[in-house]
Amino acid sequence: MKIIAVVNNKGGVGKTTTSRILAEYFSIIKHKKVLALDMDPQANFSNRYLKMEIDPYQQEGRIPPLHPSYDPHAKDDEDWDGRSSIAGIFFGEMVFPYTTYIDTLEISPSHSSKLLLAEAVTREEVVQKVYDQLSKFLNLADVRSSYDMVIIDTPPSKGPVTISVVRAATHLLIPSIMEPQPIEGIYGMIHLWKSETLRRPNHDPLHLIGVLPNSFDRRGIIHKDHYDSLKHEMPDYVLQSKIARRLIYAEADADGAVPPSIFMYPDKNLAKQEVLLACQEIEERMSSYVD
């Protein structure tokens, strides 16, 4: 089971967009059994596949809808509020992923207040517990036998929740806009990757897929300049493919977008073509590592 973490501690760089693209590519195009995990309290990734509801404990927060298998009258469900999120792993709860409109894609969504609580822990022994929870969940025999790939969207931070994701991942992907602030985030993430690599035993490596340039302005020179100098500085890490800045990506993010996935656009669509190329390059880079 491959576990791809999409990380960058800067916000608005394309983590959620990239997570969607990967989850939909592997499920729709490659027919893999994919589990999507939304570790960001903002719940944008979850919102694309589920009708998230308002979190009663946090005005701008979101909680998952009632799970289709929940039966309020069943004895078994007496101690369950009927909602299940990936944040449950930090509170000793069972996690039941939700099906989506794509046959081979399931999602375990965000839960804003629970993820914020996990992110805010400070006592050393609790922090250590948070770090380990996602690895424990993804190592369950049931999870391992149910999915081929796990795609994890993360919050814009380097806090305990992000660390737990990095610890559980087999591969890291860093989307970034080719501008100074987001590029700073790339350095931070490469640093995190290196320290995690040192911590791990040899038989359990964390592979860096690389940096995916997003919202790339093909006409201006600023993005190209930053891309060229980053490519020069870290030639092995920067992907050849780029995702251009296109209205279609923002539109695809809107509720009720039709078609719901970029991969359902006609083949002649330029955005579909460029994301296919990017996903193929990501796949090639992943298979170049021998596990």
Ligand X SMILES: Nc1ncnc2c1ncn2[C@@H]1O[C@H](COP(=O)(O)OP(=O)(O)O)[C@@H](O)[C@H]1O
Report if residue 33 touches ligand X, rule: CB under 6 A.
no
What is the rounded distance in angstroms from the CA atom of residue 81 to the CA atom of residue 111? 13
Structure tokens at 66: 């009632």
Window 7 to 26, contacts with ligand X (CB under 6 A): 11-17
In the list ligand X, Mg ion, none, the entry touching 88 (Cβ below 5 to 8 angstroms by class) is none
Rg (CA), the chain: 19
- How many residues bind Mg ion (CB under 5 A)? The answer is 3
- Which residues 107-166 are close enough to bind ligand X by CB under 6 A? 156
The verdict on 16 binding Mg ion (CB under 5 A) reads yes
97, 81 Cβ separation under 8 angstroms: no
Q: How many CA atoms lie less than 13 Å away from 244 in the CB half-sphere?
A: 14
Determine the residue with CB nearest Mg ion: 16
| Binding window for ligand X (CB under 6 A); candidates: 23-31, 121-129, 194-202, 246-254 | 246-254
Q: Is 246 in the site for ligand X (CB under 6 A)?
A: yes
Q: How far apart are CA 4 and CA 154, in angstroms?
A: 11
**By C-beta, is 134 or 243 nearer to ligand X?**
243
Stretch that binds Mg ion, among 36-44, 63-71, 169-177, 185-193 (CB under 5 A): 36-44
Residue 44 found at the interface with ligand X (CB under 6 A): yes
- CB-based contact 134:3 (threshold 8 Å): no
Helix, coil or strand: residue 61: coil
Query: How does DSSP classify residue 69?
Result: T
Within residues 170-229, the interface with ligand X by CB under 6 A covers: 214-215
Tell me the CA distances in angstroms from 278 to 43, 163, 211, 243, one per residue in order. Answer: 24, 26, 11, 8
How large is the greatest C-alpha to C-alpha distance in the chain, in angstroms?
63
- Phi, psi of 172, deg, nearest 5: -115, 135
Among 15, 48, 207, 226, binds Mg ion (CB under 5 A): 15
CB of 242 to ligand X, least distance (A): 9
Choose which of 54, 120, 250, 270 interacts with ligand X (CB under 6 A). Answer: 250
Applying CB under 5 A, the residues found at the interface with Mg ion are 15-16, 44
Applying CB under 6 A, the residues found at the interface with ligand X are 11-17, 44, 156, 214-215, 243, 245-246, 249-250, 253
